[in-house]
Amino acid sequence: MAQSKIKIVTKKVVKKMDKKTVTAKSAKPVIVAKKTTAPASKTKVVEEEIMLQPPRGMRDLLPGDQPYWNQLRRILSKISLEYGFQRIDTPALEYSNLFIRSIGKGTDIVDKEIYAFTTKGGDKVALRPELTAGLGRAYIQHGMTVLSKPVKLFSTGPVYRYDRPQEGRYREHFQANFDAFGEQDPILDAQLIQLAHRVVTLVGIKNIQFQVNSIGCPKCRKEYQNLLVAYFESKKQKLCLNCKKRLETNPLRILDCKEDKCIQVSALAPQSIDHLCMECRVHFKSLLEYLDELDLPYVINPRLVRGLSYYTKTVFEIWSGDEEGKKHSLGGGGRYDNLIGELGGEQTPAIGFGLGMDRLVQEMKRVHAKMYIEPKPRVFLAQLGDLAKKKSLNVFAELQKNGILTAESFGRGSLKSQLRVADRLGVEITLIIGQKEALDETVIVKDMVSGTQETVNHERLIIAVRKILKNNVVVSHSEE
């Protein structure tokens, strides 16, 4: 049976087609099947252009940026181990109702920014807009409730939000999360803020400040929210269009609006910390005492509420400042003591925070923070001739197996061109395998520092190379 190829026929040539296929007035491209064995069509077929760029708001992380990303990844991994967090990775795609239930309707993420769609099988799924909901789902599914508390989990990965791309914000961006389940003591809140401070300062960002607040628990927040609605109703004509809608769905989010007129109205709004129940008041007071003991830079921000509905009690953000006085949010988090219960698990107190890795890298560049310097090869392997190429593959593998980082230029026929590469890399040793060496099972070992060279057999190669490297002075780079 002849195979069919799908082609897109543009509007310009529609009139030439049979009326049974499409009318001349049709304005949409029509997909038709064309058999490969059929005679050439008289219609003009236009191939769809390949866009040589990613979708808007997404981008490549190029090799030139990787030293910053590698430095950040190394520090995150190091700190997670120091504070007892275990690595977990969850899917980038989850059932969409997980995010709708946990993040909440009336939030910008669910109402405007979530990438939700239906699969061919009819499943309603979404690209994750944040990591915490997936971690909560995994905590319940895998029975982590039986583990000793607190259960500390660390995760990194891409998240997706259909947000307006701007400086430091992307529709696909990367996040690092630290979450602890099963402990309600405020000392854990303080420890996670301390952890966030340590990560940010270790990557080289020094001018930072923590914004902290308490939005209470569902018991005391209900009364506060009624006061807030009454206040904003009296100022409704001064609110932006979005905040007028939030007044009906999520009034707390009005406090976080960035519109100037909403900021002015919110300045005189009732503050959550003045309406906390005794339990929440004691919790927040203890947290502030811990932060004072740690001497961490923080201020109480009564307008800080965060953008997700699952938060309770403590909320915080990490801000950095530049020479012009601009503030940039590097991440944030807080308590979500009811999330696990709302997802169907046992009632479990929890706290966590996320760091925007893209924003951190941007800040690292701005303050000229130290990048991770990849180890450079100290040995170069050159070969000449077909037999030498075959032998050099095993030699190369043997060197790497013994922890000797080696560069090569396989495929370059000229020995002269290979040696130019070795010179450009600044290696300390050049190994040369020619036709004679390939037959004799030997290698020429040239010390590029002293200029001496010797021929050794394969059995003595590793010993000879290590001896030269040990005698040479090497400048090492610290990790921090």
Report yes or no on 328 lying in a domain: yes
Question: Is 231 domain-assigned?
Answer: no
Which neighbouring-strand residues pair with 167? none
DSSP string for residues in 414-439: -HHHHHHHHHHHT-SEEEEE-HHHHH
Among 104, 293, 110, 297, residue whose Cα is nearest residue 200: 297
**Is residue 141 situated within a structural domain?**
yes
Q: Is residue 166 part of a domain?
A: yes
CA 404 to chain centre: 32
> What is d(CA 410, CA 364) in angstroms, rounded to the nearest whole number?
36
CATH code assigned at 452: 3.40.50.800
145 or 3: whose pLDDT is higher? 145
Report yes or no on 190 lying in a domain. yes
If you search the block for the tokens 């997700």, which residue do you land on? 308
Could you give the percent of the chain with pLDDT greater than 90?
A: 52
Q: What are phi and psi of 95, to 5 degrees?
A: -65, 135
Check residue 106 and give its pLDDT. Answer: 62
Among the listed residues 459, 458, 460, 476, the one whose alpha carbon sits nearest the alpha carbon of residue 468: 460
**Is 265 inside a domain boundary?**
no
pLDDT value at residue 439: 92
Identify whether the C-beta of residue 107 lies closer than 8 Å to the C-beta of residue 256: no
Q: Residue 21 has what pLDDT?
A: 40
* CA pair distance 212, 284, nearest whole angstrom: 10
For 202-245, what is each residue's pLDDT tens digit? 999 999 999 999 999 988 988 888 898 999 999 888 899 888 88
Band (pLDDT 50/70/90 cuts) for residue 480 is: very low
337 burial type by CB count under 10 A (0-12 exposed, 13-18 middle, 19+ buried) = buried
pTM for the whole structure: 0.80
* Matching residue, tokens 């100290």: 378
Clarify whether residues 295 and 444 are in a common domain.
no
Measuring CA to CA, how many Å separate 269 from each of 79, 241, 255, 266, 302? 39, 18, 8, 5, 10
Separation between Cα atoms, residue 36 and residue 34, nearest integer Å: 6
Looking at the predicted structure, is the pLDDT value of residue 87 above 90? yes
pLDDT score for 163:
77
Residues 5 and 104 in one domain: no
Q: How far is CA 471 from CA 176, 271, 446, in A?
A: 42, 68, 14
Does 169 share its domain with 84?
yes
Within a domain: 249: no
| Long-range CB contact pairs, 217-224, < 8 A, 24+ | 217/277, 217/279, 217/280, 217/312, 217/313, 217/337, 218/312, 218/338, 219/277, 220/275, 220/276, 220/277, 220/280, 221/272, 221/312, 223/275, 224/270, 224/272, 224/275
Q: At what angle do helices 278-294 and 186-202 cross, to 10 degrees?
A: 40
Task: Please give the residue range of the domain that contains residue 110.
Answer: 63-217+277-366
Give the DSSP H or E segment for 477.
none
Question: Same domain, yes or no, for 38 and 137?
Answer: no
Same domain (yes/no): 73, 189: yes
Q: How many domains is the chain partitioned into structurally?
A: 3
For 254-401, list the strands marked E by DSSP. 298-300, 312-321, 327-335, 350-356, 379-383
Q: What share of the chain is helix, strand, coil (3-state, %, to 5)?
A: 40, 20, 35
* Strand, coil or helix: 102: helix
Which of these three, 366, 393, 420, is where a domain ends? Answer: 366
Provide the pLDDT for residue 118.
93
Which amino acid, one-letter code, is at 52? L
Q: Count the Cβ atoms, other than its own, within 10 Å of residue 333.
A: 26
Task: Answer yes or no: do 133 and 168 share one domain.
Answer: yes
What are 6-42's pLDDT values in tens digits? 343 344 433 344 444 444 343 444 444 444 455 555 6
As a whole number of angstroms, the distance between CA 139 and CA 153 comes to 10
Q: How far apart are CA 109 and CA 131, in angstroms?
A: 13
CA distance 68 to 44: 50
For residue 258, is pLDDT > 90? no
Q: Two tokens at 444? A: 């020429």
- Asked whether residue 360 falls in the same domain as residue 316, the answer is yes
Based on the fold, state whether residues 25 and 74 are members of the same structural domain: no
- Considering only CA atoms, which of 88, 65, 95 is closest in space to residue 135? 88
